[in-house]
Chains A and B, each alone.
Chain A
Amino acid sequence: MNGFRQTAGVALTIARKDALAELRGKHAATSTLFFAAIVLLLFGFALGPDSRRLQEAAPGLLWLAIVFAGLLAVGRLHLIETQDAALEQLALYPIDRRAIYAGKALSGLAAMLVLGIVLLGAVAILYGIDLAGAWPALAATLLLGCIGFAAVGTFYAGVTVRMAAREVMLPLLMLPVIAPLLLAAVKATATALGGDPFGELGAWLQLLAGYDIVMLIAGAGTYGFLLEE
């Protein structure tokens, strides 16, 4: 139990450090949000101006924007660790490696949630979608989707961060792996917005939760090997 409390403490400290760094260097976070907003705007140009078509496609567009901007966000959270060999120093501490993974995943989750909430609002405004009755289901979808993205993203950002071609390799490796997440999150969002006439929402949320658990275990179990490099 003590070990667990120590691990959780380390994870929280790392996440807090990342959040502070992100808040103090405001530009990076804002530019990611702007990038995502521009993506949503361009989707509108690609599919509009028929607003019905945009509304039908909105769940997919929302999650694609989250995925694209999220790739930037999780990539950057690891990139800051390459400055002054921060990750190497982190790896030298006598702590559980899983705590480092958990901390990075936690700050990734925080970034993804901010991104998701802002983009959900932007989708509602830009594509004219009424979120009023659907928000509990949407909140659950967003939370589960962001947990999965942060779990997978932290792992692949760790794999690619020391590569010269990381900007290409991170999406290349990560996008096929998050295909089930994208699929389930889009379906859950569409079901939530459509009022769930067939009672499918629970199944999609379960799929998301199962994906999250599997990927968190896989990430925590393998991340330590990356720190040995």
Chain B
Amino acid sequence: MKTRVVGIIGLVAVVAAAVFGLFVVPADLNQGDAQRIMYPHVASAWLGYLSFGVTALAGLLYLWKRDLRFDAVALAGAEVGVMFTAFAIWGGMMWGKPVWGTFWQWEDPRLTTTALLLALYVGYLLLRRLTDDPSRRATRAAIVGLVAAIDIPIVHFSVIWWRGLHQTATIGDPSKLLHPSAPPLFIIALMSMLTAFTFVWGYLMIRRYQLARIDWQIEEHGRLGRISAARRAAAANAGRAVAPALDARTEEVAP
């Protein structure tokens, strides 16, 4: 019930922030209406990074405590994070085409880093899907998620260098992305979108966690079911093996 409230707040807030960003805030002088893409784009990119941070932290806690609930949190973070990151890249490309004149800008370190980030966590999700045993899956996922998280800063740093060693990393500064001197209305639009998205994010995280727990229960139930079925089959076999012998004995005794 409480989770549903979070979801409803998120939905209403997203609609409100969208109306505000689309109709109340004026269009950017240089970029025109395309700049409005920045509000959901930046919000989802931040939440994508937050999700992967949650996954790495939950993985660490799993390795420490060996509690599968942490693994469920890690899964939720990775899946929700992949969704937000994919959305951020898509939004970025939609913005890049009119503003930069191209969908894909190799010069932008954040784009390249985020694309690799997406690849890392799609791999993480596939690894999970292809491992059956819950604790083995949790361990593998935790360490792979950890190494991925360690890799991200190195990727970002190296891509900045790769663009040109002598350039300063001004593009890496998030405030520059909005506007060099963003007027307060722009910042309010971004912040309200970020708040709205965070509610949606929280709702999705909770729901995905709950779903992961239910999945786990079904798996466990299936496993117990298979064990008891195997027991019954073994008992039935044993009974059949014993039965003929009993029959033979009764025949012997019978006149």
Contacts and interface: CB of A to CB of B under 8 A. Distances in A.
Interface of A: 155-156, 159-160, 163-165, 169, 172-173, 175-177, 179-180, 183-184, 187, 198, 200, 203-204, 207, 210-211, 214-215, 218-219, 222, 225-226, 228-229
A225 B123 contact: no
Interface in B127-173: 127, 130-131, 136, 139-140, 142-144, 146-148, 150-151, 154-155, 157-159, 161-162, 165-166
B14 interface: no
12 contacts: A163-B131, A169-B130, A176-B120, A179-B116, A179-B155, A187-B162, A198-B165, A207-B157, A207-B158, A210-B154, A211-B158, A229-B139
Interface of B: 63, 116, 119-120, 123-124, 126-127, 130-131, 136, 139-140, 142-144, 146-148, 150-151, 154-155, 157-159, 161-162, 165-166
B114 to A, nearest CB: 12
B139 A228 contact: yes
B150 A214 contact: yes
A159 B137 CA distance: 10
Contacts of B154: 180, 210-211, 214
Describe A's contact surface by its main secondary structure.
helix
A29 to B, nearest CB: 28
Given A173-B127, A180-B155, A226-B140, A218 B146 contact: yes
A173 B124 CA distance: 7
B158 A184 contact: yes
A156 B161 CA distance: 26
A218 B150 contact: yes
Question: Which of B142, B159, B165 has the most C-beta atoms of chain A within 10 angstroms of its own C-beta?
Answer: B165
Contact of B147 (A177, A200, A204): A177
A154 to B, nearest CB: 12
B144 A159 contact: yes
B119 A176 contact: yes
A180 B158 contact: yes
A210 B130 CA distance: 32
The 4 closest A-B CB pairs, nearest first, are A180-B158, A222-B143, A176-B119, A173-B123
A200 B162 CA distance: 11
B137 to A, nearest CB: 10
A204 B151 CA distance: 17
B143 A226 contact: yes
Contacts, number: 82
A179 B154 CA distance: 9
Contacts of B159: 180, 183
B174 to A, nearest CB: 21
A164 B131 CA distance: 9
Nearest to B121: A176
B146 A200 contact: no
A227 to B, nearest CB: 10
A173 B155 contact: no
Contacts of B166: 198
Question: Which of B143, B148, B157, B161 has the most C-beta atoms of chain A within 10 angstroms of its own C-beta?
Answer: B143
B234 to A, nearest CB: 27
A164 B165 CA distance: 43
Nearest to B122: A172
A159 B151 contact: no
B215 to A, nearest CB: 20
Contacts of A159: 127, 140, 143-144
Nearest to B131: A163
Contacts of B130: 163-165, 169
A5 B156 CA distance: 37
A225 B63 contact: yes
